[in-house]
Structure 1
Amino acid sequence: MAGAEGTILVVDDSRVVRKAARRIPETLGFQVSEAEDGAQALAACRAAMPRAVLLDWNMPVLDGIGFLRAARAEFGPDRPVVVLCTTEAAMERIMEALEAGAQEYIMKPFDAVLLQDKLVQAGLLPDLAA
């Protein structure tokens, strides 16, 4: 996959987490770019809309929910596909993320199998098991 249609934006304030998280979609054939907060992520989406965003919740400047609400207001309900990646496990937090416009929700730490499954569920990868 080449070009913006095959791009995933990894958004996390931790450089270590971004570096680790980007390896998984890269092995699946996606091009990956990075942002360290929600404000950088919005700017990146305006410059070149990614196919999907792997989004941390807790970040400085603009957190994940703030990014989600701003992105949905500006770009609509479907683009980009957002997978919220967080340590927030409470059901009310998960519901808040889904209501704000996240298509999927994944708990940190996650592995390649779990993330690949979420990307299939979000319609970003074919379901080879079907």
Structure 2
Amino acid sequence: MAKTVLVVDDSPSVRMMVRMTLEAAGYGIIEAVDGQDALEKATSVHVDAVLTDQNMPRLDGLGFIRKYRETPHSVGVPVVFLSTDSDAALKAQAKEAGATGWMVKPFDQTQILAVVKKIVGA
């Protein structure tokens, strides 16, 4: 059975690139346009991993991770934080909120695929 990855980003082009890359590798994809949308989706269907942007309307990445980690749905689900900011303080906040890993934007298809394979398997 294919692993399902929730891709959270307010940029349609980023979501499309990630979706096309991961679907080509056999993963199922659920897209969310911001943290609030992601929280609703991640708590209503099973996901095997989450890739979330930081800067989004309604609920940012840190807020999403904090709220998601308060739910039983998040147990054992790796969350990778995506940001254009590589600030150590933001990385520490993401880790404290419950992020499993971190990727700095921009990233390429090879990087995203390698990270997803590492956190959820093929």
TM-score by length of 2: 0.90
2:88 matches 1:91: yes
2:56 matches 1:62: no
Worse-superposed segment, 108-117 or 12-21: 108-117
Of 98, 102, 107, the residue aligned with 2:99 is 102
Runs of 4+ with >3 A deviation:
76-79
* Counterpart code for 1:110: F
Distance across 2 between alignment mates of 1:29 and 1:85 = 22
CA RMSD of aligned residues (A): 1.6
2:78 and 2:100 in contact (8 A); partners too:
yes
Identity over the aligned pairs, expressed in percent?
A: 38
Aligned residue in 2 for 1:9: 6
Aligned residue in 1 for 2:21: 24
Gaps of 5+ in 2: none
Distance across 2 between alignment mates of 1:46 and 1:86 = 23
Number of residue pairs aligned between Structure 1 and Structure 2: 122
User: What SS is found at the alignment partner of 1:32?
Assistant: strand
Aligned residue in 1 for 2:79: 82
Distance across 2 between alignment mates of 1:43 and 1:79 = 18
Distance across 1 between alignment mates of 2:12 and 2:51 = 14
2:9 and 2:56 in contact (8 A); partners too:
yes
2:44 matches 1:47: yes
Gaps of 5+ in 1: none
**1:44/1:66 Cα in 2 relative to 1: closer, same or farther (>3 Å)?**
same
| Cα distance, 1:87 vs structure 2 | 0.5
Which is bigger in relative contact order (C-alpha 8 A, separation at least 6)?
2
Give CA-to-partner distance per residue, 1:64-93, whole Å, 9 cap, x none: 000000000113764431111110111111
* Counterpart code for 1:117: A
TM-score by length of 1: 0.85
2:6 and 2:32 in contact (8 A); partners too:
yes
